[in-house]
Structure 1
């Protein structure tokens, strides 16, 4: 356990190596673990995935909203009981119950390529072996942030899903266009019926243009959205709501939301990003100073907005 990262940690990753005959018991255990974790205070998300499809090595990422909530979950009797139930399923000499790492995990701090692959019938074992090979190759590239490979989940969805994560779009593009990857794709091509891929980026990607660098942290993006959305909503309450009072609540809400989204998307967010760009993506040499100055600026702007609307209302 790396306790040095605990003060800033909001996630914990547990590594598990299963015995060969524990597939079904582990599936049932996952359901119980998901239920237990999701009921914990401050729970944010849970990601349980194998190293690759069919692998006995699994990674369990438990995300929480704060370091305090994470610490409560780490020492929770429910969690301890669940891992005690998991112990007989683990491979002797494999990952131990204490094979864990606490860390900060920002879901928007990386870019993900989603690849959907239809494998030729009877060639699944070849594809699994190839997935392990390409995993080893891409992990050597700068910026690599992890991979998830998921087998087809139903008869209607006959494709393998692969998530490939890198720190920045430029680093992901470097891997996708590399000679190593092209050679590996050529090797597996006879066993694949079709490929399809797309890129997952920040949900606010349209407001924070891709500069080739890591996107602004999630909390900064959210803070800036709040800064421009709050006055729009307050002005709607003051001036628009009386005009919509005679309409059904669903219609009135739809109209208000449509106006809010339109105004925030254009031009307000573009203006806000333009003026706060120095804080969203500070230069490394000035990062600490600009982080502090930007946080103070945002706090000041929030207080100004609150003061104005407390006087108006």
Structure 2
């Protein structure tokens, strides 16, 4: 089969490299505490900006994923251990960084009965013990529809519950491994039923072959399960073995999609070529909470 010719990257995807003292300090700290970040493992284009600004997304449950999604650069294989001390080290690192908003994600651990839910919960609790005023956002896998596992995470009361649908329904089986579009929507619905006060969040990457109407339908599907925050970003091919980029979406189109999302009732939509699920997560949450307060004020006035 003839390999598709690689599309040249447009000017708006140029990344500013910033590797000053904060970048080096955070890199050293991650190594010294034997921690992983999705910033490095998933080859995030914003790592230089985020680490220079002393923000990072911790990746727990090791660095080996049991799934092989066709868009993701994280290593795939069979994990060999479970590090029960990891939550405390994440909390130590978050405290050392002086975080006000801590994002915690993980590899998929389908080898574990609870998918790693307990470690998520213990990480939330460990951060809260050290930093009671730090917001904790978790970006979780689907736990293979184990809602008891989801309940364990929700009982730990994260400030934001994030689970990404990644793409539109038609493209889901091609883009993701094992994960199912409808299962992801059900997880987000279940989370809201378990605790309606915890805002939910999801993300869609563009440029894998989706159509405009399909993006709008995915937005409608997310709003139907009361997702509050949406992020939209450009898919970038991590290596020649991963899905190729079908098109680069212009910033003007991202701006139009932000408008469409806000019209549908999301409290906040972060939309742009370099946007990732945890990019400017603190600001995303601030904007969503402010919108919620304005809405409540308006409702009371009426």
Under a length normalisation based on structure 1, what TM-score does the superposition of the two structures give? 0.23
- Give the number of the structure with larger relative contact order, counting CA–CA contacts within 8 Å between residues 6 or more apart: 1
Name whichever structure is richer in strand by fraction: 1
Name whichever structure is richer in helix by fraction: 1
Under a length normalisation based on structure 2, what TM-score does the superposition of the two structures give? 0.24
Larger Rg: 1
